[in-house]
Structure 1
Amino acid sequence: MKYLKILIFILNFIGIGYAFYNQEFLLGWFLIFFCIYFGYICWKKQEYVRASNFNKRTLYASNILLFFLLIIMMRLIQVQIFEREFFASRVMGQIKKTDILSGNRGTIYDSTGKRLAFNKNIYTIGVNPAAIYDRPNTLKGIVEILNQDFIKKDRDVLLNEIKRGYETGRKYKVVAKNINEREKEKLEEVIKKYKMTRNEIRFDRNIERTYYKNDFYDNIVGFIGYNYKSQSEKIGLFGIEKQYESYLKEKVLKRQNFYTRSRNLKLPTSKEFIRMNLNGNNVYTTIDNEIQFILSEEIKKKFLSSKSDEAYGIVMDPNNGKIIAATSFTTNTKKSLRNPIFQNQFEPGSTFKPIIVASAMDAGLINRKTLFDVGDGRITKYRHTIRESSRSTRGILTTEEVLKKSSNVGMVLIGDKFTNIQFEEYLKKFGLYDKTGIDFPGEIKPYTVSYKKWDGLKKSTMSFGQGIVLTPIQLITAFSAVINGGILYKPYIVEKITDESDVIIRRNIPTEVRRVINPNVSKQLREMLEDVVADGTAKRGKVEGYRVGGKTGTAQLSGKGGYLKDNYLASFIGFFPIDKPKYVVLVMFLKPKGETIFEKYGGATAAPVFGDIVRRITKTKNILSQDISSISKIKEMKKGESTKFVDVEMPDLTGFSPKDVIYIFKNTDIEIKIQGTGLVEKQFPEKGTSLEDVKEIKILLK
C-alpha cells in the first residue's frame, strides 16, 4: 500500500510537469489540487483507525465535501481564469447593445418658409417569437396589436407565422411596416397596458423624405437615394439635395450601452456622454412658392395645349441674380438626373438680339436712331442668303425698328459694325463663355470657339441668335444685365442655411461679376423693349395697365445635315416694371405643334404665356397697375371739393378683394357698392370707362 501511494504521487508530479510543459494549465492545476487532497487523505488515515464509528462517518463526509469543494474550485478557476474572455463576451453579448442614434435630414424651404422637402418618421414593428409564447400576457398584447385597423396583414396568418418562429427559435419577425407616428402612439398604449418589453417587441425607425408638389419642384429640389457605392445610407442624388448634401446630411452616432437582459432597463455606468445635435441643417431657397406655382401652372398649360416636346420657365430678380421660380416639363417619361434649365443648350434666336444691340450701343457703334437699309428683306453673306422672317420687313429701319420688327438683316448689319475681337469681348462680358456659377449641380460649360477660328458667316448668324448655343440660365442672366442698369450678377438659388436653432451658418449674397454696359444704354434698351411689346412682334405679351418689355424668339432647330424644317424653339423673355425691373421671365417651348407656321412662333406660343404669368404675379403680389396707382395716389380732398379724374380710366378689378377695391378708391369721393361674397367677378362701370363723371362703382363678388 505504501508503494502504491508513492507511485500515485510520482505519477501526479509527472502529470503536472507534462501539463504545464504542454500549456495544459487547467489539467496541471487540477493535478496539484488532487495531490494536496490525496496527501490530506493519507495524513488523516491514522485518525480513521482510532476514531469511533460516528467520527469515522464525520471524517468520510468531510472528505466527500472536500472533494466536491475541489471540483467547484476547479470550475471557478476554469471560468474565472482560463475561460474568462469567453464567458465575459457571453455576458456582454447579453447586456451590451449598440444603439445607433441618428438625427433628421435638414429641411428645404422656399423664401417664405414653406417646406419643400421634409422628413416623416415611419416605423417597422418586429416581435420576438421565442419570447412571446413563454409569456401568455404578452401573447394577449400581440393579439390586440394585430387587431388594429392599420395592420394590413391577416391576424391569423401572422399568429401562425409567429408560432412557427417560436418553434424554430426565431428571434425577430416583422408584423407591420410603414407605421406613422399617430399609429405608433396607439401601439405604445397597448405595450404599456400589457407591460411588454423591448426584448418582446420593438420599433425600427426609418426616415421617409417627403416632397411638396413634387411635379412642380422635383427638377429644382431634387431627391435622395442610395448611390452605387453604398446601399446602407441615402444621400442627395440630384438638385439642391445633392448640391447642399454636406449641410443637409444628418449625423449618425453609435454608442454602446448596457441593459438588463430583458432590455427593459439601462444599467448605470461610469461613462458620461455629451449631448450632440445630430440633425442636418436647414436650407432656405430663393424660390417663391406662389410664383413657382404660377409659372409651373401656366407653362404646363401651354406645354400640353401646344403639344410641345419640352417646356422651360424661369423667373429671376435681375437686380441680384435670385432665382424666384424655375420649372420644366417634358414628354420623356424616363427619370433623368438632369435639369434642362442648367444643362440643355439651344440656339436662342431673336431673344438674343437685345444683347447684341446693347453691346453695339455701349461700344458707340450705333444709337437708337441709327439707320439700316434692309432692302427687300434679304442679304447675302459669304454665298449664304439671310432672310427676314416677315415679308413686311423692308426698306430703311432705325435701331429701334430693327428690334421692334425683329429684323434678321438689320441685326446682320449691326453685327458688321463689330470687329470679330470686339464681338467676342462683349460675349465674354455677358458671361457667355463661362458657366454662370449657379449653386446647382451639373451646370454645363458653354461650347465656344475662339474668334480666330470663326468662319466669315459666324458673326453674322450670331447677331440674330443662331450659330451660338446657350442654356436658359445663361440667357436670362445675360438679359438681366441688359435691363438692370448694366451689371452682370451671379445667379443663385439658395438664400441661407441655418441650424436647428435658426442660427445662420451660411448666407449667399448677391455677387456682382462685372459691369457690362453703361446704365444709360440699359435705360434705353428698357424703353426700346417696351415698344417691342406695345407695338412690335411681342404684342401678345402685353398686360393691360402695366408697362412691360420683352422680346420674342423663334429659333429653327438644327439636326443632322442642317436645320430641321418646321421645328422651332418658341420663346419669350420679358420684364416688368419698366422703370425698375423686379422680375425677368423666360419661357421656352421646344417643337410646339400648330396648324399654321405662325402658331409655332414665339409671338404666338410663348408671348401670351408671359402675359398670363405677369397678370397673375401682379394680382398675387398686389402690384398695382399704372391706372390703379394713379387713383390710389390722389391726395385727400378738402371738405366740399370733388375729385376730378382727367384721362383716368376705370381699371380692371377682376380678382380683387372688396378690401383692395376700397383701398384703391379711399382717397376719392366715389361710392363703392358691394354685392355677394368672395372676389370681384363683375364691375360697373366696365374697365376702360372714363372715371371723370363716375360717382358710384358697383362690384359683384363670387
Structure 2
Amino acid sequence: MKLKKYILLLLLSMLYLTIIFFGVFFNYKVIENSKDININNKNMATLVDCKGNFIVYNKKMYEAWIDLSFLRRQKKFKEYEHLLLSKYTQDEIKDKKFLKWGKFYTKKEAEDNLGVLRKFSKIYETQDRIYNDLFSLSQLIGKYDKTNYGIEKYLYNNKLLETQKEQNLSIDLTLQRILYEELKKTVKEKNASGAVALIMNTKTGEIKASVSIYPWNMGYMGYIEPGSTLKPMIYAMAIDENIIKPYETFKWSYQYTPKNTNIKIKESEYFDLGTMDIKTALAHSSNVAIAKVMEKILNTYSQEWLYNSLLKMGFGKKTNIEFSGEIDGVLKNPDEWKSITPYQIAIGQGIGVTPIQLITAFNAIVNNGYYVYPTFFKNKKVFGRQIYSERTSKKLLDWMRYTTILGTAKDAYKEGLLIGGKTGTAQKALKGIGYTKEDYYSLFEGYYPSINPEYTFLIIVDDPKGEYYGGEVAAPIITNVFYNYSKRKEVYNYLGYYFKGVLPNLINFDMEEAKALLINLGYNFNKIIITGSGTKVTYQYPNPGTLLKDTQYIELRSD
C-alpha cells in the first residue's frame, strides 16, 4: 500500500515537472502584469463639443510585445535576431526583457506583422487617445498624462475622466474655427507677437470659443494690463455707490493732475469735446474723465475699499474655471500702493488681469449686473452673484453701443450686425524700462447682439505693427467672426431643411462643416466615421441621396 502511494506521488511530481517544462520551453506566455510592459487599457471619457462633435475620443488598438528573455533561450535565436534588428538597433534591444513590436488597428494585423515571432509574443488590447489639435484646441484641452495644464488635466485631477463615459463641453467647434482663422489672419497681417480671444455665453458663463496664438494658453496662464477695458467696471462701481450720477458731466482737458499726486493723466488723442457726459467719455475712452471719477471715489472711500471692490469683480484670484494651470493675475495689496496707484488702475495700469478674469468681470455688466462663474461644461448649473445693479448695467450697455457708431470702435460697425463694447489700447510695461510708446496690446471687449446680448467677447492682439489702437485692430476681428458665424448657421439651417432625411453630397466640404451639417440633419454623431488626415472631404459612404433612416453608418474620408 505504501509503495503504491510513493509511486503515485512520484508520478504526480513527474507530471508537474513535465507541465512546467513544456510551459517554459514550448508554450510560454508573456507575464500579463509585468512592470516592463506598460499597457494603456483605460477607457477615458470622450470629450465632445456643445453640438456633439468629437474633440477627444478613444480608439481601440492592439499592441504586440515580444518576450526577449524567452526568445534568447531558443536555439534558433540568431535566425530570429535579424528580424528584430530590422526595426531596432542592438543597443535598443540589449538588456531588455520585453520589446514593444508595434501598435496595430486589428489583432489580425498585429499577428500578420509579427509573423514567425508570434509564438514568442503577446498581443494586448489597448486604447489610443485621439485628439483634435486644430484651431488652438491642443492648448485648451491639454493631455491628462503629458501636460500640467488644460481641461483634460482638470478632469483627470478631479476623477472625472475615468468615471464618465462622455463629457459635453461648452465649446462650439464651428465658432472656435472661425475665431481661430480670423485671429491668425490678423496676427499675420499686423505682424503681431500673438493674440488671444474668448467668446462666452452671456447668461450661463459657458465658454463657446477660446483661442490663443501663443506657444502657451494666454487666456488662463498669462496676464496683461487691461488699459481702457477696465473703465466700464469703474464707472459701474461709482454709479452704484452714488459717487457719480448717471448723467454727470466732465469738463474736457487734454491732461489732468489729481490732487495729492504728481501724475499727469493725459488723453491718448487730442479731441476737444468741451463738456462730456459718461456716454461720450466711454465712446472716446477719455482718461481725464475716468481720473476725475477715481478722485471722487477716493474722496468717499479708502484704498482698502477700492481693493475689495476689485476683488469683488473677480480680479486678483482664480475664476476656478475647469482648466488646470489657471493663475491669479496680479492685484497688489493696498499697503503696497502709492498715491498714484488708484489712478493707474483707473486707466488700466498697475494691475495684471488674465483674459478669463477680464471677460468674466465685463460680462457682469452685460448680464444685468450678475457675475456668473465661467465654465467649460455644457448645461452646468449657473452660479454667481449680483455685483452691479441691473439699472446701472443697462445704462452702460446703452452707452457702449455708441462705440461702434460714433466712438473708438467705428471699424467694428457692419450693417446688420449690432455690436456694442469698449476698446482698449494698453501700453506694455517692459522690465527695467517701464511703459514704452512702441509696444501695445490692442483690445476690444463687447457683446453681440447689442440688444438682448447672447455672447460676450474679448479680443487681444499683442504688439501689432502699424495701427495699434484697439478700435482699429481688435474690433474688426469680432465683426468678421459673427458675420461668418451667422452666415454659416444660415447655410446649415437651409441645408438641414433642403436635405431633410436625405444624405447630401459632402465632397469638398470642410470636414468640421460636414460633421456639423450631419448633426444638424439629426444624424447620430456616434455613427459618423472619420478617416484620413486632411481637412476636406474627398470620399463619402453611402452615396448622396441615400435615406438617412436606411443608413447604418456614414464614412467621411479626407486624403
Q: Sort the TM-score into its range (normalised by shorter chain).
A: 0.7 to 0.9
1:198 shift after superposition: 6.7
Distance in 2 of aligned mates of 1:85 and 1:447? 72
For 1:345, give the aligned amino acid: Y
Which of 510, 517, 541 is 2:382 aligned to? 510
Which of 430, 434, 457 is 1:562 aligned to? 434
Cα 1:161–1:394 change in 2 (3 A) is: closer
Which of 346, 349, 365 is 1:482 aligned to? 365
Q: CA offsets per residue over residues 77-112 of structure 1, 9 Å max, x none?
A: 6985xx999999778877887546934222111111
| Contact 2:212-2:218 within 8 A present in 1 as well | yes
Aligned to 2:479: 611
Q: CA offsets per residue over residues 411-431 of structure 1, 9 Å max, x none?
A: 101111113434334323212
Cα 1:326–1:77 change in 2 (3 A) is: same
Aligned to 1:366: 244
Aligned to 2:324: 441
Cα 1:399–1:90 change in 2 (3 A) is: same
1:284 aligns with 2:168: yes
Q: Match of 2:297, SS? A: coil
Alignment of 1:182-197 (within 5 A): 184-185=107-108
Identical pairs, percent:
28
Aligned to 1:684: none
Alignment of 1:612-691 (within 5 A): 612-622=480-490
Aligned to 1:355: 233
1:383 shift after superposition: 1.7
Alignment of 1:291-310 (within 5 A): 291-310=175-194
Q: CA offsets per residue over residues 285-310 of structure 1, 9 Å max, x none?
A: 11111111111111111111111112
Q: Match of 2:264, SS? A: strand
| Contact 2:368-2:390 within 8 A present in 1 as well | yes
1:319 shift after superposition: 1.1
Distance in 1 of aligned mates of 2:492 and 2:167? 34
Aligned to 2:443: 571
Aligned to 1:493: 376
For 2:137, give the aligned amino acid: Y
Cα 1:586–1:161 change in 2 (3 A) is: closer
Distance in 2 of aligned mates of 1:369 and 1:661? 50
1:525 shift after superposition: 0.8
For 2:236, give the aligned amino acid: A
1:110 aligns with 2:49: yes
Q: Match of 1:384, SS? A: coil
Aligned to 2:519: none
For 2:225, give the aligned amino acid: E
Aligned to 2:103: 178
For 2:481, give the aligned amino acid: I
| Contact 2:212-2:219 within 8 A present in 1 as well | yes
Distance in 1 of aligned mates of 2:362 and 2:85? 70
For 1:387, give the aligned amino acid: K
Alignment of 1:148-227 (within 5 A): 158=83, 177-181=102-106, 184-185=107-108, 199=119, 202-225=122-145
| Contact 1:128-1:171 within 8 A present in 2 as well | no
For 2:355, give the aligned amino acid: P
Aligned to 2:309: 426
For 2:257, give the aligned amino acid: T
1:311 aligns with 2:167: no
Which of 467, 470, 474 is 2:350 aligned to? 467
Distance in 1 of aligned mates of 2:233 and 2:306? 11
Segments of 5+ residues of structure 1 without an aligned counterpart are 1-35, 37-68, 135-154, 227-235, 251-278, 333-337, 497-507, 623-654, 663-677, 679-702
Q: Match of 2:378, SS? A: strand
| Contact 2:417-2:483 within 8 A present in 1 as well | no
| Contact 2:442-2:469 within 8 A present in 1 as well | yes
Distance in 2 of aligned mates of 1:540 and 1:317? 24
For 1:216, give the aligned amino acid: S
Q: Match of 1:120, SS? A: strand
Q: CA offsets per residue over residues 559-614 of structure 1, 9 Å max, x none?
A: 123112210011111101223211011110111112xxxx0111111011121112
Cα 1:491–1:96 change in 2 (3 A) is: same
1:543 shift after superposition: 2.7
For 2:228, give the aligned amino acid: S
| Contact 2:103-2:110 within 8 A present in 1 as well | no
1:527 aligns with 2:398: yes
Q: Match of 1:482, SS? A: helix
For 2:179, give the aligned amino acid: L
Cα 1:90–1:299 change in 2 (3 A) is: same
| Contact 1:406-1:537 within 8 A present in 2 as well | yes
1:238 aligns with 2:106: no
Cα 1:373–1:450 change in 2 (3 A) is: same
Cα 1:532–1:85 change in 2 (3 A) is: same
| Contact 1:481-1:488 within 8 A present in 2 as well | yes
With a CA cutoff of 8 Å and minimum separation of 6, indicate the structure with the bigger relative contact order: 2
Aligned to 2:534: none
Q: Match of 2:456, SS? A: strand
Cα 1:248–1:97 change in 2 (3 A) is: farther
Q: CA offsets per residue over residues 459-516 of structure 1, 9 Å max, x none?
A: 11211211221110010000000111001111111237xxxxxxxxxxx32111x211
Distance in 1 of aligned mates of 2:174 and 2:85? 53
1:339 shift after superposition: 2.3
Cα 1:356–1:91 change in 2 (3 A) is: same
Aligned to 2:59: 120
Distance in 2 of aligned mates of 1:545 and 1:118? 39
TM-score, normalised with respect to structure 2: 0.74
Segments of 5+ residues of structure 2 without an aligned counterpart are 34-38, 75-79, 499-508, 510-559
For 1:583, give the aligned amino acid: Y
Distance in 2 of aligned mates of 1:315 and 1:329? 15
Aligned to 1:691: none
Aligned to 2:292: 413
| Contact 1:107-1:248 within 8 A present in 2 as well | no
Q: Match of 1:417, SS? A: helix
Q: Match of 1:113, SS? A: coil
Q: CA offsets per residue over residues 619-659 of structure 1, 9 Å max, x none?
A: 2344xxxxxxxxxxxxxxxxxxxxxxxxxxxxxxxx79878
| Contact 1:241-1:248 within 8 A present in 2 as well | no
1:345 aligns with 2:223: yes
| Contact 1:574-1:610 within 8 A present in 2 as well | no
1:551 shift after superposition: 0.9
| Contact 2:152-2:161 within 8 A present in 1 as well | no
Q: Match of 2:58, SS? A: strand
| Contact 2:60-2:128 within 8 A present in 1 as well | yes
Cα RMSD between the aligned structures? 4.1
| Contact 2:291-2:343 within 8 A present in 1 as well | yes
For 2:170, give the aligned amino acid: T
Q: Match of 1:351, SS? A: helix
Distance in 2 of aligned mates of 1:410 and 1:464? 10
1:284 shift after superposition: 1.5
For 1:238, give the aligned amino acid: Y
Distance in 2 of aligned mates of 1:534 and 1:111? 33
Cα 1:495–1:247 change in 2 (3 A) is: farther
1:321 aligns with 2:321: no
Aligned to 2:264: 385
Distance in 2 of aligned mates of 1:117 and 1:124? 21
Cα 1:171–1:387 change in 2 (3 A) is: closer
| Contact 2:285-2:408 within 8 A present in 1 as well | yes
